[in-house]
Structure 1
Amino acid sequence: MKNFTHAAISPSGHGTPAMAFGRHVIRMMAANTGGSLGMFEAFVPAGEGPPLHAHEREDEFFRVLAGRFGFWCAGDYVELTEGGCIALPRGVPHRFCNVGQTEGRLMVVVTPGGFESFFPIVELCKPGTPEEIASLAKDFGLTFPPDDDRKVA
């Protein structure tokens, strides 16, 4: 990976689409930031979002670009609308859901970078079972707590 010595730029309308667990557009790759960060946009239909999960390697920063989202983290719950931001620490189980009535959009920044590659890899590999998804997720330091731990969110 090259050093982060020049601006990493993602002009409006650019990015690499990835259709895995919904529509994502990868806006900045870790390879372009010396590993410092990765960034993607997530387009989330009403009522949808990922299950409770934890990232072993990355902190996550979310900015709501459109819609209304609920975020659960460490027993806390908050709803944010357009312009709202939240930072979630690595290692802490969390989830989010589009609690609005229309498709929502999030900008997600992961630090350090690397997790942004998860969605293109899932699209390429097309895991079909929960076990295959968990195995691929583990390669990215992503884990899903057992069902008994899910009641926190």
Structure 2
Amino acid sequence: MKTFTYAAVSPPDHGTPAAAFGKHVIRMLAANTGGALGMLEAIVPPGEGPPLHVHEREDEFFRVLSGCFGFWCAGDYVELAEGGCIALPRGVPHRFRNIGETEGRLMAVVTPGGFEAFFPIIELCKPETPEQIASVAMAFGLTFLPNEDRKVA
């Protein structure tokens, strides 16, 4: 991994598309920041978002680029529109959902970096069963919680 001694840049309209679990654009790889962070955009249709899950390795920061999103983190719920930001700690169950009526966009920064590679790997591996998805997720320190654990959402 390259040492983070130079600016890492993601010009407008650049990035690597990943069409796994929706549309994503990988804007900055951990390899370009010495592992300090990774950055991606999520393009989320109305009513969509990930299930309740836990990241064991990284904290997440989200900025709403467009649309309106609901965020659940532990027992808290907050709604954010364009320009709103939220930081979610590792080890805490959370999820988000586009609660608007149009497609929304989120910028996500993960610290330390590495999780941004999850979506391209899922796209490449094409896991089909929940067990296969869980296996790939486990390699990234990600756990999707069973339905009976979804009390906060």
TM range (shorter): over 0.9
Runs of 4+ in 1 over 3 A off after TM superposition: none
Offset, 1:87: 0.1
Residue aligned with 1:132, SS: helix
- Residue 28 of structure 1 corresponds to which residue in structure 2? 28
Taking only aligned residues, the RMSD between alpha carbons, in angstroms, comes to 0.6
> Match of 1:51, as an amino acid?
P
Offset, 1:2: 1.5
In structure 1, distance between residues paired with 2:111 and 2:41: 15
Offset, 1:121: 0.2
> Match of 1:46, as an amino acid?
P
In structure 2, distance between residues paired with 1:121 and 1:70: 27
- Residue 145 of structure 2 corresponds to which residue in structure 1? 145
Offset, 1:148: 2.0
In structure 1, distance between residues paired with 2:145 and 2:120: 23
> Match of 2:69, as an amino acid?
F
> Match of 1:55, as an amino acid?
H
- Residue 134 of structure 2 corresponds to which residue in structure 1? 134
Offset, 1:144: 1.5
In structure 2, distance between residues paired with 1:136 and 1:35: 20
Offset, 1:151: 1.5
Residue aligned with 1:127, SS: coil
Is 1:65 the counterpart of 2:65? The answer is yes
> Match of 1:14, as an amino acid?
H
Offset, 1:146: 2.7
- Residue 103 of structure 2 corresponds to which residue in structure 1? 103
In structure 2, distance between residues paired with 1:111 and 1:55: 11
Residue aligned with 2:135, SS: helix
Q: Taking structure 2 as the reference length, what is the TM-score of the superposition? A: 0.99
- Residue 117 of structure 1 corresponds to which residue in structure 2? 117
> Match of 1:98, as an amino acid?
N
Residue aligned with 2:148, SS: helix
In structure 1, distance between residues paired with 2:74 and 2:49: 17
After superposition, what is the alpha-carbon deviation per residue over 1:49-97, rounded to whole angstroms, capped at 9, x for unaligned? 0000000000000000000000000110000000000000000000000
Offset, 1:149: 1.4
> Match of 1:124, as an amino acid?
L
Query: May I ask how many residue pairs the two structures share in their alignment?
Result: 153
Runs of 5+ consecutive residues of structure 1 not aligned to the other structure: none
Q: Taking structure 1 as the reference length, what is the TM-score of the superposition? A: 0.99
Runs of 5+ consecutive residues of structure 2 not aligned to the other structure: none
